[in-house]
Amino acid sequence: MTDILTIKHLRVEGHPPGGAYVPIVKDVSLNVGKGEVLALIGESGSGKSTISLAAMGFARPGCRIAQGEVWLNGRDIMALSPRDRHALRGDEVSYVAQSAAASFNPALRIGRQVIEAPLWHGAGDASTLTADAVNLYRKLDLPNPETVGQKFPHQVSGGQLQRLMAAMAMSCGPDLMILDEPTTALDVTTQIEVLKAFKDIIRDQGTAAIYVTHDLAVVAQVADRILVLKNGEMVEAGPTDQILHDPQRDYTKTLMAAVRPAPHLVNHRDTVAARPPVVSARTLTAGYGTVTVLSDVSIDVPAASVVGVIGESGCGKSTLARVVAGLTPLRKGEIMLDGKAVAPNLADRPREALKDCQIVFQMADTALNPRHRISDILGRPLEFYQGRKGSARADRVGDLLELVDLPRSFASRYPGELSGGQKQRINLARALAADPKVILCDEVTSALDTVVAAGVIDLLKALKDRLGVAYMFISHDLSTVASFADEVVVLYAGRVVEKGPSKAVFSPPFHPYTKLLLSSVPEMQQGWLEGVANTIEAKAASAGSVVIGAKGCPFSNRCALAIAGTCETVVPPVRELSGGLQIACHLAADHLPLS
Amino acid sequence: MSDTSDIVAPRKPTFAGLRLTRTAIFAGSVLLFWLVLALFGPWIAPHGEAEIISGQTFAPIGEGGLLGTDKLGRDVLSRLIYGVRTTLLLALVTTVISFAIGVTLGFAAAILKGWFDIVVSRIVEAFMAFPSTLLALVVIGAFGTSITVLVLTVGLVLSTSVFRVSRALGYDIGVMDFVEAARARGEGTWWILTREILPNSTAPLIAEFGLRFTFSILFLSGLSFLGLGVQEPAADWGLMVQENVGGLFLGSSAALIPAACIASLTVSMNLLVDWFQQRQQGETVLEKIDQ
Ligand SMILES: Nc1ncnc2c1ncn2[C@@H]1O[C@H](COP(=O)(O)OP(=O)(O)OP(=O)(O)O)[C@@H](O)[C@H]1O
Ligand code: SF4
Ligand SMILES: [Mg+2]
C-alpha cells in the first residue's frame, strides 16, 4: 500500500508561559496509507491534536516541532517554505476541528466559505463547485441542502455548523483528512449519518485519514488501525480489532475498561417533581423570522434539580434556552420564574428576574469576550447585580475561581490563555456570580473531551448540592443526561415527544423517537454502524429528515411504526403512563416499543 | 501529567507579535520621513512658503532652488515641505471626521437595528450612488471654498464607507455569544457597544482608517487640482500640481515632484495597511487550527 503520510520520530516541544521548553510529543512514528483510517486515542493532553497538527507541518503558538520528519505524498513538508506548507491546506490536506464556530467567518455566507479553498486552488468555477457542495450537504444529511449555503453561520444550529465544516474540509477532495473529534459535538442520530458519510467519502476517494477521538465506540466503527498515546508517547499500535479485543499493554486495557456505560443502566432519584418549580414554561411557541421552531413546549424545572433536555441537532434545544432567558422573542405562551410570571422580552424583565436565571452557552470559545480579562468577565455581574466594587469585587472573583476549581491567579488572564475546559469553567463561574436560582446549560460539555467533560459535570453536581442551584441541562450526550438529570424532556422538531423522571424515560416503554435515539448510541463493536444502519427503524429514520412545523406527529416521516393516515395529519395525544411518564404518540401504551 | 492544555498561546494585543517585514519597514520609514517634515517644516525649509526667490520661473532642478522654482519663481522644495503639513493635516482631520460620523452611525445601526438601521442605510446608499467628486463639487460650489466646508464635505463623503464597515462589524460581533451573554445579563446598548463590540473591532477599524486616510489624500489633492481645495498662496501638493502643469511643456518637473510625493504617501500607507491586514489574518488562521 502506498503511504500518503509518514511521520518519523516526531518530537514537539512547548513552553508554558515563562517556562522552558518541555516535550509534548516524544518520538512518535506513524504512517497512513491510501484509503486508510488511523485513529489516535488517548486522554486529554496526550498529544493527539498536537500530532495531527504536526501532520500538516504546524505547531500551535508557543510550540515547535523540534525533531522528526513529516512526509506527505513523498514530499518532506518540513523542508517546504511556510507559504508552500500553507498552500497544502485545503488542497492536499484538510482539517476538521472540534469546534466549528471558530472555523467560520461570521460575516460570510456558509456556501461561499465552503467553496473558497477549491475555488482558490482552481478546482472549478463557482457554480459547479456550489453544485458539488450541495451534494456534500445532502450526503452529510443536512436539512435543506439547496439553501443551507445561503445562510450565515449563526443562523444554523451548532450540530449543523459542525457538519458544514466537514463539508468545507471535503470540498477540495484532499489526499489526507485530519479529523479532530469531528463528531464529539453531534447528537447520536446525526453522528451515525456523519460517520457513514465520512466512511463513504474515504472509500470513494481513497482519502487517507487521521481520526482523533476519545470515543472508543466511534473508533471501532471507522478506524482500520489504532495508535494509543499517553503523555505524548506511543503506548501501542495495531489493527482496530486487536487493540479493542486483545490489548497488550496495561494502559490500553484500562482505557478499554473505562468505556462509558450504556445510558439506560444508571439509577436515579425521582422525588424532585414535588418541589416548587423555579422555571415553569407553559405552551411556548417561538421561532426566527417566518420559521416556527418551538411549538407548544411546556417544561418545569423544580428547585435544586436537574432537568435534561435531549433531542437531535436543530430540534430547538438552544432555542428553548434562549426563549427562557428572554433572548429570543416568544410568540405564544408564558414563562414563570420562581412562581412569578416574567415578561417574554429581556428588556422588560426586572434585574432580579435576570439575575435568577443565567445561561451558559454551547461554545465556550465564543462566549467569553477575548479582550476582557477574567477578572472583568467575572467581576461585571458582581458589580451589575450586587454593586460590588474594588476589593470586595476582587475577593469574590477569587472565590468564584476557586468554586470552579481554578487558581485565583487566573483573574489576570485573558480567555485566549485558557484551555477549552477552563473556558467552560469560567462560563459557569460567570453564571454563578449572579447567584442564580437556575442555570440554563446549553451543551456545556459537548465541545470538551470526556475527561474534561466529566470534570465539569462533577463540578455541576457539587455546586448543585452546595448552592441549591437548579439546571436546565441541554445535551445530546445521552449517557451524561441519564446519569445527571433527575427529569428528562425529549424534544423532536420543536415539540416535546416524551418527558418524565429520567428512570422512566430511559426504560421501556419508549416513544419511537426516544428509542431511535437510544439505539443510535454507538456500541464498541466493529460493524455496529453497518448493522444499526440496516435496521428497519434506522432505514425509516434516515429516509426522512427533520421537518419543523409538521401538521401531525413531527416524527411521522421517519417513524417505522407510523399509522398511515393518522400520524401525519393528527397531532398525537399525550399519554400519561405510570411513574409520571408522558408520551406524545398515537400508539396505545401497550403498542409502544419496549426495547 | 504534562498536560498540553496548560500550554496556551499568549494573548496577542492588536499590534504585539506583528512581525516586521522589509516592505513594512520601508513603507513605515517613508511615512515617518514625511511626518517629521510636516512637524518641523518651517525650521527645515530653506525659504518661505510663498516667498519668490528667483526671477526665473520654472527653473529646472539645481538652478534657483534645490528642486527648481515654480510658475511664480517660488522654491519648489520649500513649498513641498510646507505642503506636506497641509496635506497630512487636512487628510487627518477629514478621516477623523469620517470616523466620528461613520463609526457612531454604523454601530448604532447594527445594535438598534429596525427602522433606524433602515433609514440610515438608505441615506448612505443614496449618498454612495452619487459619484463622490460630483457630490463634493456641488456642495463646495454651493457653500464656497473654505477649509471648513472642504473638510466637512470630504469627511462626510468618506464616512459612507466607514459606516458600511462599522455596521458590518457591529452585526458580526453582535451575534457572538459573549454579546448575547451581556444582553442576557441586562446590559444597556452603551455598554455593549463600548465594552463588548468596539474592543473587538480595533484591528479592522485601524485598517479602514489607513485606507480612508489614503483615499482622503487623493481626494483632497484631486479637489485642489480642480481648484476647489486649498487656495493659493498656501502650499498643498495637489494645488502645486495644478499650478505647475503648464510648466510640463517647458520641461519643468515642478508638477511632477509633488505628484510623486503624493504617490509615495499613498502607496506607503497602502502597503502598511496590507501588511497589517495580512498579519491579522495570519494570526486567525493559526488560531483556527489551534482548536
Ligand atoms: N438566528 C437564526 N436564524 C434563523 N434560523 C435559526 C437561527 N438560529 C437557529 N436557527 C434554526 O432553528 C432551528 C433550531 O436551532 P437550535 O439552535 O435551537 O437547535 P439545537 O437543538 O440547539 O441544535 P444543536 O444540538 O445542533 O445545537 C435550526 O433549524 C436552526 O437552523
Ligand atoms: S405518533 Fe405515529 S409517527 Fe408519531 S411517533 Fe407515534 S407512531 Fe410514530
Ligand atoms: Mg444548540
Question: What value does the mean pLDDT take over residues B277-290?
Answer: 53
Q: How far is the CA of A519 from the centre of ligand 3 (A)?
A: 22
The ipTM assigned to this model is: 0.75
Provide residues with CB under 6 Å of ligand 2.
Answer: A 512, 553, 555-556, 559, 561-563, 567, 572, 585-587
For A277-389, where are the alpha helices, taking DSSP H only?
Answer: 317-325, 351-356, 374-386
The domains spanning A36-46+82-259 and A265-505 adopt the same CATH topology: yes
Give me the residues near ligand 3 (ion), CB cutoff below 5 Å: A 158, 318
pLDDT tens for each residue of A267-280:
555 555 568 888 99
Q: Looking at the domain assignment, is residue B227 inside a domain?
A: yes
- B11 to chain A: closest CA residue: A416
What lies within 8 Å, CB to CB, of A301 at 6+ separation is A277, A278, A279, A280, A307, A438, A470, A471, A472
Higher pLDDT, A499 or B19: A499
A102 pLDDT band, cuts 50/70/90, is: low
What string of DSSP letters covers B140-195?
HHHH-S-HHHHHHHHHHHHHHHHHHHHHHHHHHHHTSHHHHHHHHHT--HHHIIII
Q: Does residue B283 have a pLDDT over 60?
A: no
Q: What percentage of chain A has pLDDT greater than the value 70?
A: 93
Interface test with A, best of B1, B3, B7, B286 (most A CBs within 10 A): B7
Number of folded domains in chain B? Answer: 1
- Position B251 in a domain: yes
pLDDT tens for each residue of B99-152: 999 999 999 999 888 899 999 999 999 888 888 888 888 888 888 888 888 899
Question: Is residue B194 assigned to a domain?
Answer: yes
pLDDT at B291 over 50: no
Q: Kindly report the average pLDDT of chain A as a whole number.
A: 85
What pLDDT is attached to residue B7?
37
Check A44 against B286: CB less than 8 A apart: no
Task: For residue B129, give how far its alpha carbon lies from the nearest alpha carbon of chain A (Å).
Answer: 24
Is ligand 1 within 6 A of the CB of residue A159?
A: yes
> How far is CA B255 from each of CA B33, B111, B227, rounded to the nearest angstrom?
21, 48, 15
pLDDT at B50 over 90: no
Domain that holds residue B222: 86-279
Nearest CB to A381; choose among B175, B176, B185 = B185
With 80 as the cut, is the pLDDT of residue B98 above it? Answer: yes
B148 touches chain A (CB under 8 A): no
A119 secondary structure, DSSP code: H
* Residue with the larger pLDDT of the pair B1 and B221: B221
User: Of A292-301, A405-414, B243-252, where does mean pLDDT reach its minimum?
Assistant: B243-252
Q: Indicate whether B39 belongs to any domain.
A: no
State the average pLDDT over residues A386-407: 91
Confidence of residue B11 (pLDDT cuts 50, 70, 90): very low
Of A238-247, A365-374, B41-50, B266-275, give the lowest mean pLDDT range: B41-50
Q: What is the pLDDT of residue B18?
A: 61
Shortest CA distance from A428: residue in chain B = B181
B214-253 residues touching A, CB cutoff 8 A: none
CA distances to A200, A234, A406 from A18, rounded to whole Å, are 46, 28, 19
CA atoms within 13 A on the CB side of A234: 16
Burial of B145 (0-12, 13-18, 19+ CB in 10 A): middle
The pLDDT tens digits for A195-225 are 887 888 788 888 899 998 878 888 888 899 9
Q: What is the CATH number of domain A265-505?
A: 3.40.50.300
Domain map of chain A by residue range? 36-46+82-259, 265-505, 512-591
Enumerate the β-bridge partners of residue A472: A307, A440
Q: What is the mean pLDDT of residues A449-460?
A: 80
**pLDDT tens track for A470-490:** 999 998 888 889 888 999 999
CATH number at residue B256: 1.10.3720.10
Among A553, A570, A577, A592, name the best residue to mutate to test ligand 2's pocket (greatest count of ligand atoms within 8 A of Cβ): A553
Confidence of residue B15 (pLDDT cuts 50, 70, 90): low
Residue-wise pLDDT for A315-373, tens only, equals 899 999 999 999 988 889 999 998 889 988 888 899 989 999 999 988 787 899 988 99
Q: What is the mean pLDDT of residues B68-74?
A: 82
- Looking at residue B289, its pLDDT comes to 39
Q: Check residue A200 and give its pLDDT.
A: 80
- Which residues does chain B have within 8 Å of residue A103's beta carbon, measured at their own beta carbons? 288, 291
| CATH architecture type of domain A36-46+82-259 | 3-Layer(aba) Sandwich (3.40)
A16 has a chain B CB within 8 A of its CB: yes
